[in-house]
Structures are given as structure tokens and as C-alpha cells.
Amino acid sequence: MIQSIGETAGKVYHALQSEGPLTLTRLKTSTGRDAFTLNAAIGWLAREDKIIVTKKGRSVTIALR
């Protein structure tokens, strides 16, 4: 499970690097991962201080720091 989360964190990082800030929905589509693994990967990147998470209304956007 940890390996899958780490791989997803890499996919999220590369998606943000190539496409810019994305919503959770777009990230899920872009990475093709389930919600749990995607959220764990986002937490991993947030803990490493590599991303910025912003919430506006009901929309959550993820961007590289």
C-alpha cells in the first residue's frame, strides 16, 4: 500500500508540474487512482511541503509550491 501511495504522489507531482494547479476531480482523472490513494498521496506531498492546498467554496485546488 505504501508503495502505491508513493507512486501516486509521483504521478500527482508530475501532473501538477505539467498542467499547473488542478482540482481534486481533475487530479483523480489525470492519475487514474482511487480517492483513498489519491488523498493519501496528497497528504504525503503536503507533509513534504511540496504542494499548496486551497479551498474555495466546495472546490479544492492543489498546486506545486
Intra-chain end-to-end CA distance of the chain, in Å:
26
Q: In terms of DSSP H, where are the helices of the chain?
A: 2-19, 24-31, 35-47
Write down the pLDDT at residue 45.
Answer: 97
| CATH annotation of 2-64 | 1.10.10.10
Burial tier of 51 (Cβ tally within 10 Å: 0-12, 13-18, 19+):
buried
20-63 pLDDT per residue, tens: 999 999 999 999 999 999 999 999 999 999 999 999 999 999 99
